[in-house]
Amino acid sequence: MKYPNKLGIYNIYGGKFLPELLQPILNSLYKIYIIIIKKKFFKIELIKYYNLFIGRPTSVYYCKNISNILKGGKIFLKREDLNFTGAHKINNSIGQIIISKILKKKRIICETGAGMHGVATTTACCLFNLESIIYMGENDYKRQNINVKKIKLLGGKIFLIYKGNLKEAMNESIKDWCNNIKNTYYVLGTASGPHPYPLIVRDLQSIIGYEIFQQINFNFYKKKYLLACVGGGSNCLGFFFPYINSNYNLIAIESGGVSKNETSSSINFGSVGILHGSNSFILQDKYGNIKKTHSISAGLDYPGIGPEISFYFYKNRVFFIPIFNNEVLYIFKLFSKIEGIIPAFETAHSIFLSFKLSKFLNRKDLILINMSGRGDKDL
């Protein structure tokens, strides 16, 4: 791809709009990363941990019960919930921790919303004997408390942000990074933020999409629909990226929240602006102030979306549809009972859309959902 350029720009999206103090670090990280990613030793190390520690490749599962009931397109799940720690986040955490070891950084910080990135990063830090500091909003701390307990059990230190969510956790992570540049590496968990993080996260998560080439013969199906929920964009982009140049239908599902005024749907209800170091679609008022977000899902409760996925929306390559809280809760219960799989609230957004979409398809059509995580945390 010709995108991004050296400044991390996807057309008008992206960039690195952060304090001057961090610019040399970001520049250095980019230069080192584009060398490391091509090295054989890094690939071998990454594949070793993907296979032996995480448990990749994850399976593609045919939802026979649901598909037979709906009598429409065949519904499949890419089972990222079967990864060790229970979500796709570990793909990125392991990769970035290996990079931090190469850079000789011994103190690791990260932000987390649903807690899955916090658990994954703390787990990777345990593996490589590194200190881990996790920033988490108070609202998410309460509703995702099982992941809080896991982080503490693994030895991670949690810093609580009063009345905060994922946005505030990211704010504090960046502040910490500014104050501890010499010994600290920031493991950003989503495909948002300043360049080169969206690029790094995309590359590490794209293992999801590439594995599917060996698991499904797409030639058997007439119409192909790939569905993924989207907050910042790591799960969505990792799933879609290998298929950007295909003719498959790529649909990203945002969290509609309760209504237009209480939502986390940055594409459908937002506009272009700068948040956390990059230019992309965000939820803001007419003065540029970031709006409060709302979602039943902590992982999607973020007022922005990554620059690359914003670019694909601009190019009409990825379509965005909001799904609302009541729809998520309904499908969370129904799908668990019928299919025997408890999905994360994040994934339940995609599953609900697959039900609606299936009505217009037949058995020769394919709906493939990226099941980003399991629902234990949401019980």
Mean pLDDT of the chain: 96
Helix and strand totals (H; E) in the chain: 15, 14
pTM here is 0.96
What's the pLDDT band for 1 if we cut at 50, 70, 90? Answer: low
Whether the CB-CB separation of 119 and 85 falls below 8 Å is answered with yes
To the question of domain 11-48+89-203 being in CATH 3.40.50.1100, the answer is yes
Q: For 123-130, what is the mean pLDDT?
A: 97
Residue 2: predicted pLDDT: 67
What's the pLDDT band for 96 if we cut at 50, 70, 90? Answer: very high
Whether the CB-CB separation of 349 and 297 falls below 8 Å is answered with yes
**Residue 67: CB partners within 8 Å, gap ≥ 6?**
73, 74, 75, 358
**Fold matches, 11-48+89-203 and 57-86+206-378:** yes
Q: For 197-210, what is the mean pLDDT?
A: 97
Catalytic-residue membership of 63: yes
Annotated catalytic residue within 63, 110, 125, 229: 63
Q: For 238-259, what is the mean pLDDT?
A: 96
Q: 57-86+206-378 belongs to which CATH class? A: alpha beta
Ordered by start, the domain boundaries in the chain are: 11-48+89-203, 57-86+206-378
Residue 370: predicted pLDDT: 98
pLDDT at 335 over 80: yes
DSSP labels, 128-161: HT-EEEEEEEHHHHHHTHHHHHHHHHTTPEEEEE
pLDDT at 6 over 90: no
pLDDT at 228 over 70: yes
Q: For 198-219, what is the mean pLDDT?
A: 96
Annotated catalytic residue within 88, 195, 276, 349: 88
pLDDT at 143 over 90: yes
